[in-house]
Amino acid sequence: MSLSQSLQQKLLQKLSPQQIQLMKLLQVPTANLEERIKEELEENPALEVTEDHEDGSEELKDEFDSAEEYEEADGSEAEYENIDISEYVNDGDDDIADYKLRDDNYPDADEDRVMPHKVESSFHELLLDQLGMLVVDDRTRKIAEQIIGSIDDDGYLRRETASIADDLAFRQNIETTEEEIESLIKKIQHFDPAGVAARDLQECLLIQLRRKKNSSKSVDIAIDVLSYYFDEFTKKHYDKIQRGLNLDDEQLKEVINQIIKLNPKPGGDVTEVNKAESYVIPDFFITNTGGKLELSLNSKNAPDLRISEGYKEMLKEYDRGSKKDKRQKEAVLFIKQKIDAAKWFIDAIKQRQQTLYNTMHTIMDYQHDFFLTGDETTLRPMILKDIAERTALDISTVSRVANSKFVQTEFGTYRLKFFFSESLSTDSGEEVSTREVKKILSDLIEGESKKKPLSDEKLTELLQEKGYNIARRTVAKYREQLNIPVARLRKEL
């Protein structure tokens, strides 16, 4: 368990059940909020959504201008609360509804929990479909199915042949040999996508090239390069390859072009992904109107929920009638619990809206120059504590918003976490965002000569010349965070 997870669990232990559920609801992305509300509507008949609700995102700013306005209660809700049901309710009978205390509400407090998602046609199903085209007996089919089941989602077969044989013997009572399994693996390697069932990257790339063998001289040479000079190729020691295979620069370029077109993860292009993960749904929209920034919430974050009129009317009926029957008492308790649960959920959604809006508005003010220009070098150093202090929210609350929410601007859509960064001092003593330094570092590498890429030492010198006090190891760290390889691996002919 990581330190952050440990601290989070300690924090959750100090919160009330209501606060825990509010924290969880706050973390639900806009893409999943609609489903979460649908679940609540199905579970609680006292909760309704107004059918004629229109996009209210433009009204949210006015709605959250003051805490007093937010706290104003709906008159209809106060009306049912004034009903006297004391004869029905004993001490403890009107406790919080059980659903609010459940730990299985989305999302789970455990950040590492993997949520399964439905796929329409999986990678393994595609392989099994192709297996059905082979003319094999039942025994051979079962062996082939065991092999396919051992292939990872990225298309690689990382399980040892001997282990597959053991699985077949112990689990399916099928006696086989490693030679027979290896023979079937070779057949499966002819399946699509090309490169499937390879044991490592070298074999994966060679399988793809061998399907194109004799199509051109550069393909044949590429097979020799990966067969005999794979380590040299991955380390970009091109001079050794040229000497070993007697290649000129033009031939080597053609070989490299052939290899970089290959797919290093053949299973990755087939597997379906959750639609909510494929498309980013912004939680906020920031527009620039004549130099004035305007913030609005995605309307999906502001559903128009209300307590069922039917349930409130039933409670009134019981209030007007006799209050001595035991069956009536059970009915009143059920109705009251559902109404209380509905009211709690409505308040929680409103509080979620307010927290989201206040947090994003503070971030927008803090990074005002960026939202006006889109220039990453204008980003100010900003940490969770800065926003927590300005919004009077807990740091963990700001963290949940920053990690799971997106904002759409005229310059693109960003995760809120993008705007947070540590500070770095310049020669003049000014504190700048590490995001600014990373942008300049990225620009330097982008503009370098690919025949002679800039080393970390040279990058450090160039940044220091621009006034940034930075060490070589810090440059290396930032480069790795930007997923940029070392100079040797950036070299091109």
> For 170-188, what is each residue's pLDDT tens digit?
888 999 999 999 999 999 9
* pLDDT of 38 above 70: yes
CA distance 181 to 128: 16
Which has the higher per-residue pLDDT, 435 or 150?
150
Backbone angles phi, psi at 194, to 5 degrees: -60, 135
pLDDT in tens, 41-98: 888 888 888 765 444 444 454 545 443 443 443 444 555 555 555 554 554 444 444 4
Which has the higher per-residue pLDDT, 105 or 144?
144
What is the pTM for the complete model shown?
0.53
Which DSSP symbol is given to 264?
Answer: S
pLDDT of 206: 94
Residue 284 pairs with which residues in a beta bridge?
297, 407
* pLDDT of 438 above 60: yes
DSSP alpha helices (H): ranges in 153-278? 161-172, 178-188, 201-210, 217-228, 230-234, 238-245, 249-260, 275-278
Going 19 to 21 to 24 to 25, the CA torsion angle's sign is negative
CB 216 within 8 A of CB 183: no
pLDDT of 108: 42
pLDDT of 429: 62
Q: How confident is the model at residue 380 (pLDDT cuts 50, 70, 90)?
A: confident
pLDDT of 18: 60
User: CA 379, 370, 408 angle in degrees (round to 5)?
Assistant: 120
pLDDT in tens, 331-377: 777 888 888 888 888 888 888 888 899 999 999 999 999 999 988 88
| SS3 state of residue 382 | strand
pLDDT of 124: 86
In the predicted model, what is the mean pLDDT of residues 129-139? 87
pLDDT of 273: 44
Helix-helix angle 326-366:309-320, to 10 degrees: 140
pLDDT of 56: 45
* pLDDT of 7 above 80: no
The candidate with the shortest Cα–Cα distance to 221, out of 194, 182, 198, 253, is: 253
Q: How confident is the model at residue 272 (pLDDT cuts 50, 70, 90)?
A: very low
* pLDDT of 144 above 90: yes
Q: How confident is the model at residue 285 (pLDDT cuts 50, 70, 90)?
A: very high
Share the mean pLDDT of the chain: 78
